[in-house]
Amino acid sequence: MPDATLDFELHRRRLDNGLDVVVAPDPSLPIVGVNLWYGVGSRNEREGKTGFAHLFEHMMFQGSKHVPKNGHFDLVERAGGSLNASTSFDRTNYFETLPSHHLDLALWLESDRLGFMLPAMTQEKLDNQRDVVKNEKRQRYDNQPYGDWLERLLGLVWPSDHPYTHTVIGSMEDIDAATLDDVSDFFATFYVPNNAVLTVAGDVEVEHAFDRVEHWFGGIARGEEVPAIPGNLEIPIPMAAPQRVEVVSDVPLARTFVGYRIPPVTDPAFAAVDLVAQLLGSGRSSRLYRDLVRTGKVRDAFAYAFPLSGGASMLLLGATGLPDADPAELETLLTDSAAGVVEVEPAELDRALALEEARLAQSLEHLGTRADRISMNTQTFDRPERVTEELAELRAVTLDQVRAAGERWVAHPDRAVVTYIPEAG
């Protein structure tokens, strides 16, 4: 089958201050996506400062020297754009999609907070956003059934001195302890042009876009080199021994989460593990659906290979039991089905690739997603053009390599397991 045509035009330049800039013109709609990836996430947090990268992301919307509090949302929404940001383990991204004649607005806003954020910071703003983040944590984690699953699983998959061992949202105590000094230190350390990728994708003329980027960002001083990720990244893959915890809790149905250490996204072996995850969990002809859901053994099941780059990554499996399920059986059901991937058939691989091809093309219809994927490929792989090559990379993986990846990274007992058991009554 022919590959979907994904031949985006891409241009990359680096400003003198180190800002890595990619322009991807596409005039088909009068829209532009502006996307910044900063090479900082929860992995860069030190002990006692968990959750700070994310709290800092909130502070980035509290105005800068020339932009009032709420100015970002106010001005971008007024221009008919949408915007947001997110914090992950390895990075923090900030993005706007807006009508293309407002390109300068987005660049002005983004450059002002990169160059001139601190003058606008106040204790009142920090206190306000601290309360917002604490309510975010309550809404998304503490007040949700299974809300602490990731915190528990990360604690089992990673050693206590590994940077992925704590969640992005962090702990209430650490969020409470954050100070304005932490804000300025973090800003000076990580929010420097030499630690960022800026992608402009959509209805722009290439030279004009570079010119506007230079205009707004060129005068911002380069920062120091970003310090090494704290903690010990040199850990064995897979884990040395299994880890398990059972949680009796106020949940509707039993649910099990299983984590495996796998090679990082930057390792050539990752593509095969990623395919394993898709063969297990992608679509209704996938293994977990076929073996467990369609047969009525579980309510739902999924698989996902986290694309982490810090020395190792994690393959996640999960399943929810039906009301009469025996929670003790969930792990075995899940891991037995997953281990079956060692004898995956060629037709399964063809289906997984066909599905991925269509989904990839459809996700790239959105300029925001396209810009984000380009920033990711630039920062993580130093290859923006990889955005159009991801499918080819997957296609290059052979059936034997997929089976071997299953054998080596999945079909073994050294995994972390968190099982939720509904409280009686």
Partner 1 sequence: MTSPDRTVAPAPGPLRSFDFPAVESSALENGVALDVVRLPRLPVVTAYLSLPAGEEALQSERAGLATLTGEALEGGTSKRGGAELAEALEALGADVDVHSGWAATTISLSCLAERLGEGLSLLSEMVREPGFPEAEVERARAQQLARIRQQRMDPGSLATYRAHREIYADGEPYARPALGREATVAPVGVEALRGWAEAFLHAGGASLTVAGDVDADEVHRLASQALGDWRARPVERSVPAGRSRGGGRRIVVVDLPNAVQSEIRVSQVGVPRNAPERAALTVGNAILGGTFNSRLNLNLREENGFTYGVRSRFAGRRGPGPFSISTAVDTENTPAALREIFHEVERILEGGPTAEETEATRDYLAGVFPLRLESTSQVASKVAEQRIYELPADEWTGYRDRIRDVTPEAAHTALRDRLRPDELVVVISGNAGELRPGLEALGVGPVEVTDRESAVDDVAEPTG
Least distance (Å) between residue 223 CB and partner 1: 19
Q: How far apart are CA 115 and CA 137, in angstroms?
A: 29
Cα–Cα distances in angstroms (integers) from residue 7 to residues 2, 4, 210, 364, 389, in the given order: 14, 9, 21, 11, 9
Nearest CB to partner 1, comparing residues 133 and 333: 133
Ramachandran category for residue 93: left, alpha or beta (phi over 0 → left; psi -120 to 50 → alpha): beta
Least distance (Å) between residue 160 CB and partner 1: 26
Q: How far apart are CA 305 and CA 322, in angstroms?
A: 25
Least distance (Å) between residue 124 CB and partner 1: 10
Least distance (Å) between residue 136 CB and partner 1: 4
Nearest CB to partner 1, comparing residues 351 and 408: 351
Q: What is the identity of the amino acid at 190?
A: F
Point out which residues pair with 98 in neighbouring strands.
32
Nearest CB to partner 1, comparing residues 146 and 164: 146
Least distance (Å) between residue 80 CB and partner 1: 1
Give the pairing of strands 313-320 and 92-99: unpaired
Q: How far apart are CA 235 and CA 162, in angstroms?
A: 9
Q: How far apart are CA 367 and CA 8, in angstroms?
A: 12
Least distance (Å) between residue 102 CB and partner 1: 5
Q: How far apart are CA 335 and CA 341, in angstroms?
A: 10
Which parts of 8-102 are beta strand (E)?
11-14, 20-25, 31-38, 82-87, 92-99
Nearest CB to partner 1, comparing residues 268 and 296: 296
Nearest CB to partner 1, comparing residues 26 and 174: 26
Nearest CB to partner 1, comparing residues 240 and 392: 392
Least distance (Å) between residue 240 CB and partner 1: 36
Q: What is the identity of the amino acid at 327?
A: P
Neighbours of 26 (CB within 10 A): 17
Q: What is the identity of the amino acid at 21?
A: V
Nearest CB to partner 1, comparing residues 241 and 347: 347
